[in-house]
Amino acid sequence: MRKINSYFLMIVILLLALATACINTTMPVANTDTPSHPGNASSTQAPAVTQPQESKSGPSDVDVLPEYPLTVIDDLGRKVTINKQPQRIVSLAPSNTEILFALGLDDKIIGVTDYCDYPEAAKTKTRVAGYSTPDLERLVSLQPDLVVAESIQEKTVLPALVRLGMTVFVAEATTLDSILNHISILGKITGKTGAASRLLDTMNSKINSIVSKTQNLSPAQRPRVLYVNWHDPIWTMGRNTFINDVINKSGGNNIYEADFEKARSVSLESVITKNPQVIFVSGMGTSGDAVLNGIKDEVRLYSVEAVKNNRIYKISNANLIERPGPRIVDGLIEVSKMIHPEIFRELK
């Protein structure tokens, strides 16, 4: 029982992190698709094909240093001034760590969180934080010139870091486009525009391979989908979350998109009424199996189409769908195969 309670607490923390990205903010660098307006959200509307984003300061595959000092707007709407090319970077979220490594900044990363485990080299970096509780004394001792934080840390960690005079960029992911935008901005801040452009080209290619086949699906061709991150009670995602965007782009219809934003627990009665045709689950570590079995074994859900037709799936690696970083496109591909196996069975 203690183990399950521990899993549940970890899941609630993760859900808050996944869903804090619910405030529309100005994106300063990338030209991104316009997400559905909260008051007019509809997963039956075809998502636009994302166009590759390129650095405008030189050839797209060449790293170009910006002119410092450089001022950007982070996802909280804060003006952040970068006085010189960052040489000592601390990441306060696993997704940010994955982005920084993907940009080739291995030797510049000096601190990460306890949960930063990808790529393998991230495990060798100094630990300065839990998920939302950094060790400020240790962080300060590292003397970072850039801290990349997450919006869940806005009320607690950010004020302390600002008081200490640290340069902090805060990321908040609401859509796949916002994730692409983070990569573009961090590439510009760190002088890794070429690496960012190459990464964005790869990610956009995978996104377009999905969206090009789902954008013209009719409402009737978009199955009702339920995403589950915990089963007792059932926790899921509403609109203005990147997981909702993954469902939309995969050709599905998130059954709770119109009902609420962020993450929320929902009743079994509500799930039964909405009658999802596809259910996919995730969970940290071995908790994914617990979530999957919890849904499969719930007798009150036996009348739901997804259960009757054996269309309940588990993400192979929860981090593919729960972390808003470069691997989110692999999560998108996996979800698309679950929702539309008839279209994407051969997709790799």
pLDDT digits (tens, 9 = 90+) for 268-283: 999 999 999 999 999 8
Assess if CATH 3.10.580.10 describes domain 76-171: no
Residue 345 has a pLDDT of: 81
Tell how strand 126-129 and strand 79-82 pair up. unpaired
Model confidence band, residue 33 (pLDDT cutoffs 50, 70, 90): very low
CA distance 13 to 206: 29
Greatest extent of the chain over all pairs of C-alpha atoms, in Å: 62
86 phi/psi in degrees, rounded to 5: -60, 135
Segment 8-27 mean pLDDT: 45
H or E element: which one contains 185? helix 176-190
- Average pLDDT over the chain, rounded to an integer: 86
Q: What percent of the chain has pLDDT above 90? A: 75
CA distance 168 to 138: 16
Where are the domains positioned within the chain? 17-48+217-344, 76-171
> CB–CB of 177/50 below 8 Å?
yes
CA distance 58 to 31: 17
How many other CB atoms sit within 10 Å of the CB of residue 202? Answer: 14
Same topology between domain 17-48+217-344 and domain 76-171 = yes
CA distance 276 to 271: 7
Strand partners, 82: 70
Model confidence band, residue 188 (pLDDT cutoffs 50, 70, 90): very high
CA distance 305 to 70: 53
Residue 27 has a pLDDT of: 33
- C-alpha separations of 73 from 80, 81, 165 in Å: 6, 9, 17
Residue 36 has a pLDDT of: 33
- Identify the DSSP state of 154: T
pTM confidence score: 0.83
- C-alpha separations of 148 from 29, 31, 74, 110, 263 in Å: 17, 22, 10, 12, 23
CA distance 130 to 235: 22
What is the tens place of the pLDDT at every residue in 140-185?
A: 999 999 999 999 889 888 999 999 999 999 999 999 999 999 999 9
Assess if CATH 3.40.630.30 describes domain 17-48+217-344: no
Residues 6+ apart with CB under 8 A from 137: none
